[in-house]
Amino acid sequence: MKNTNTTKLIRLLVIEDNATLVLAGLRNFFRPERDLIQVSESVSCVEAALNQIDTGRFDVILLDLIIPGSSPGENISMLQHQFPGKPIVVYTSIDSNLWRKRMFVSGVHAYVHKNDSRDTLKRAIVDAFEGKIALCMGTVNTPDVGSLSPEIGENTLSITEKEILAMLSDGLRYKDIGKVLTMNDVAIETVVKRIRKKFGASSTPQLIHILTEQGLL
């Protein structure tokens, strides 16, 4: 990894509902004396961060995308309001161009997959700390925020349909998806059935396979 001019220790506020596993991985990834990065604070939800953490105790927020019972967009908005100027790095297991675009539109500095390398995550954290947009997971150029409106549909699926299918492919249940998208289970099931019929799929796994093969997901 290339050298950086950053010489200050970067303190992370980690917001992650599956804290035990993720924190263990991060502490193995980063040694303060070697990387100048350390986990300073950790909480399981955004509400805990807002109520318990002082802005002077961290430099960068490392945020899980999907936290049960909350909306990613609302989480970003609340954190930006409570901690203005603190950069946010989304650290997620969801590999989705749609979510990546939506998060950049919301003002995050990076979107990193949990399977990405230590160097990729470190670069994203350092770049965010320095006020740069850290473009990971195959994104090459700085996004034109004006062209990334989450309301614009792509191909033959709407943005909402793609989001639902992306989360289903990641193993989320209708209940969890409903909380993220503020939709009820019946509405989500109706959407999935309609898409299955449209593409001639007899099951959701088959639908996801078809859409992946066609490059629609």
pTM of the entire predicted model? 0.67
Question: Which residues, 6+ apart, have CB-to-CB distance to 101 below 8 Å?
Answer: 143, 148, 150
pLDDT at 6: 55
The answer to whether residues 106 and 76 touch, using CB atoms and an 8 Å cutoff, is yes
C-alpha Rg value of the chain to the nearest Å: 18
Task: Give pLDDT tens digits for 2-60.
Answer: 444 557 899 999 999 877 778 888 888 898 899 999 999 999 999 999 999 999 999 99
Q: Residue 59 corresponds to which tokens in the numbers above?
A: 């430099």
How are beta strands 88-92 and 10-15 bridged, if at all? unpaired
Domains along the chain? 10-147 (3.40.50.2300), 159-213 (1.10.10.10)
